[in-house]
């Protein structure tokens, strides 16, 4: 009898959780393929016209391109500047290094875009980077570098130094050692931080919203917002198709890395 009650409660709970998480998402699944979408999730009158309309919408396509530029920029900065730094920080020890890194990580959680939006806005203005992609890229990179370095350093720590040492005994140059040994060995770490950075930048609304004023520079996150807030009747066909097109790449990317390398919690998060 008690088992039965537990079982019913269990099924009920699972059903509730499933409904809670699935219902708001249904619209994103159905509406993009519906010739007359409404705000309610409904079985669509199937069409792909929404997408062909979207492909002829210049500002929508441009915004996706803008998002791509931002992602490439921030991932680029994180990899080019952060990865070498984390390698060095893993291999060369100086007093207080770990405390320093932990403080940096803490700081990047404390100093957020929301809390520092005013100085960030003014800083990019003073540097002549307002309404320009490099401004957004550097601000986002500044916020993401500490955690990226922390995760990647953690990863490098677990790869034995004897890998590099043995390459050196064979006479490999620094460049050869990095290219043939170090980079391939830490590649999963690089992939994880790249995807983590990409997902964050692709979705980030606040920083480009504040720092980019020209509508032609808006990334998808900002354009999506203006689609449903800027006066008049929102164009649901456009919004639906755009939402899906904007969402799918990031889901695929996440799924790929998750499948290939698995979701892992690294150092700082483990406590």
Partner 1 sequence: MTGKGTDRRRRSSGGDLVTRGGAATIVAPAAAVVAVFLVFPALWTLYLGLTNRGLTGINAANPQFVGLENYTTALSDPALWNSLQVTFIFVSGSAIVGQAVLGFTLAWVFRNWQSWVRRALELLVVVAWIVPSSVVAFLWVAFLDGESGTLNAILGIETEWLLRHPLLSVIVFNTWRGTAFSMLLFGAALNSLPPSYLETSRLAGASPLQQLFDIILPSIKGYIITNLLLISLWTFNDFSPYLITGGGPAGATEVLPIYIYNESIRFGELGFGSAISAIMLVINLLIALSYLRAGRSRS
Partner 2 sequence: MAGIEISEITKIFPGEVTALSELDLSIEDGEFFALLGPSGCGKTTLLRTIAGLEPATSGSLDIGDRDVTSLPPGDRNVAMVFQDYALYPHMTVRDNIAYPLKVQKVGREARYGEAEKAGSSLSLDGLMDRRPGQLSGGQQQRVAVARAVACRPDVFLFDEPLSNLDAQLRLEARGFLKQLQKDLGTTTVYVTHDQGEALALADRMAVMDHGVIRQVGTPTELFHRPANVFVAGFIGSTPMNLIPGVLGDGNVRFDGGVLPLNGRGDTGGEVFYGIRPEYITIGDVGDISGTVAITENLGAQFLVTVDVAGQLIRAVVAEGSEPATGDTATVNPDPDRVLVYDRESGELTPGAGYH
Q: Which of residues 172-191 bind partner 2 (CB under 8 A)?
A: 172-173, 176, 180-181, 184-185, 187
Identify each DSSP E strand in the chain by its residue range: none
CB atoms within 10 A of CB 50: 25
100's contact among partner 1, partner 2, none, with CB below 5 to 8 A by partner kind, is none
Q: How far is the CB of 83 from partner 2 (least distance, A)?
A: 17
Q: Contacts with partner 2 in 143-162 (CB under 8 A)?
A: 160, 162
User: Which residue, 120, 102, 123, 257, is CA-closest to 192?
Assistant: 257
Q: What distance in Å separates the CA atoms of residue 98 and residue 133, rounded to the nearest whole number?
A: 33
Q: How far is the CB of 85 from partner 1 (least distance, A)?
A: 4
Tokens of 125: 């203005």
Q: How far is the CB of 267 from partner 2 (least distance, A)?
A: 21
DSSP 46: B
Q: What distance in Å separates the CA atoms of residue 145 and residue 147, rounded to the nearest whole number?
A: 6
Q: How far is the CB of 97 from partner 2 (least distance, A)?
A: 14
- Coil, strand or helix at 34: strand
Q: What distance in Å separates the CA atoms of residue 112 and residue 131, rounded to the nearest whole number?
A: 20
| Torsion sign across C-alpha atoms 220, 224, 225, 226 | positive
48's contact among partner 2, partner 1, none, with CB below 5 to 8 A by partner kind, is none
Q: Which of 149, 167, 190, 192 binds partner 2 (CB under 8 A)?
A: 167
Q: What distance in Å separates the CA atoms of residue 130 and residue 123, rounded to the nearest whole number?
A: 8
Q: Contacts with partner 2 in 180-239 (CB under 8 A)?
A: 180-181, 184-185, 187
Q: How far is the CB of 225 from partner 2 (least distance, A)?
A: 43
Q: How far is the CB of 53 from partner 1 (least distance, A)?
A: 18
Beta carbon nearer to partner 1, 68 or 85 = 85
User: Which residue, 138, 117, 135, is CA-closest to 125?
Assistant: 135
Q: How far is the CB of 134 from partner 1 (least distance, A)?
A: 11
Beta carbon nearer to partner 2, 1 or 169 = 169
180's contact among partner 1, partner 2, none, with CB below 5 to 8 A by partner kind, is partner 2
Residue 33, CB half-sphere, CA atoms under 13 Å: how many?
9
User: Which residue, 240, 179, 181, is CA-closest to 49?
Assistant: 240
121's contact among partner 1, partner 2, none, with CB below 5 to 8 A by partner kind, is partner 1
Beta carbon nearer to partner 2, 188 or 268 = 188
Beta carbon nearer to partner 2, 36 or 176 = 176
Number of residues that bind partner 2 (CB under 8 A): 18
Kindly report the backbone phi and psi dihedral angles of residue 235, in degrees, each rounded to the nearest multiple of 5, phi listed first: -85, 95
Note the residues at the interface with partner 2 (CB under 8 A). Answer: 160, 162-163, 165-173, 176, 180-181, 184-185, 187
């Amino acid at each position: 009898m008690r088992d039965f009650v537990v079982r019913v409660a269990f099924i009920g709970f699972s059903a509730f959780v499933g409904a809670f998480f699935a219902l708001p998402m249904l619209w994103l699944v159905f509406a993009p393929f519906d010739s007359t979408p409404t705000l309610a999730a409904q079985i669509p009158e199937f069409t792909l016209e929404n997408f062909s309309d979207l492909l002829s919408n210049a500002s929508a396509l441009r915004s996706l391109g803008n998002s791509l530029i931002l992602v490439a920029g921030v991932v680029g900065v994180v990899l080019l500047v952060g990865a070498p730094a984390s390698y060095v920080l893993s291999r060369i020890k100086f007093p207080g290094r770990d405390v320093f890194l932990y403080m940096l990580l803490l700081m990047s959680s404390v100093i957020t875009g929301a809390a520092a939006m005013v100085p960030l806005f003014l800083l990019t203005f003073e540097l002549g980077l307002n309404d320009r992609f490099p401004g957004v890229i550097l601000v986002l990179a500044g916020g993401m570098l500490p955690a990226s370095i922390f995760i990647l350093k953690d990863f490098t720590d677990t790869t034995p130094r004897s890998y590099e040492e043995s390459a050196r005994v064979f006479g490999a140059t620094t460049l050869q050692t990095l290219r043939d040994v170090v980079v391939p060995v830490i590649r999963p770490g690089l992939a994880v931080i790249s995807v983590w950075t990409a997902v964050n930048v692709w979705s980030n609304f606040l920083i480009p919203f504040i720092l980019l004023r020209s509508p032609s520079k808006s990334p998808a996150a900002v354009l999506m917002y203006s689609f449903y807030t800027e006066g008049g009747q929102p164009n649901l066909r456009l919004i639906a198709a755009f939402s899906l097109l904007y969402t799918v790449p990031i889901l695929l990317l996440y799924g790929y890395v998750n499948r290939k390398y698995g979701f892992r919690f690294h150092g700082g998060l483990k406590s």
